Amino acid sequence: MMFALALRAGLWGFALSLTAAQAIAAAADYEFLPLKVDVKNGNGSELAVRLVHKPSGKPVAGAVLFRTRLDMAPDNMADMTATHEALPSSEPGVYRFKADLTMVGGWAFRVMAKVPGEKDTVQGTVVFQAKD
């Protein structure tokens, strides 16, 4: 009787650990990629990222992007930020933004997203190079 109870508890624990591993891996299955790394320096620069499901390689449409930040952390100036706003996109899985970049150099675009059907928040950082 004790053996059956211990076996059942062990199987239950194993099942929970598998579920937890899948939940942890879910957010890691997504990646933000730049459409173009080099962007124009100045006001009205367009930045575009594609959200991709890594195992399938397919773009992810319908995600809700939030808590975005654009700063110069790649050039050790994380305090220098740029204003940006979302733009419409007609391409599935592509998310576009208009940014007022104030300096030539590396700009890190940090973003969080809620992906349809995923419990966890997807996070990513894409680095762009502003050039004159």
CA dihedral of 87, 77, 34, 54, whole degrees rounded to 10:
-110
Topology (CATH level 3) of domain 30-131:
Immunoglobulin-like (2.60.40)
- Residue 129's CB is within 10 A of a number of other CB atoms, namely 16
Mean pLDDT of 110-130: 97
In tens, the pLDDT along 26-41 reads 899 999 999 999 999 9
pLDDT for residue 25: 57
65 has pLDDT over 90: yes
Q: Residue 1 — pLDDT band, cuts 50, 70, 90?
A: low
62: left (phi over 0), alpha (psi -120 to 50) or beta: left
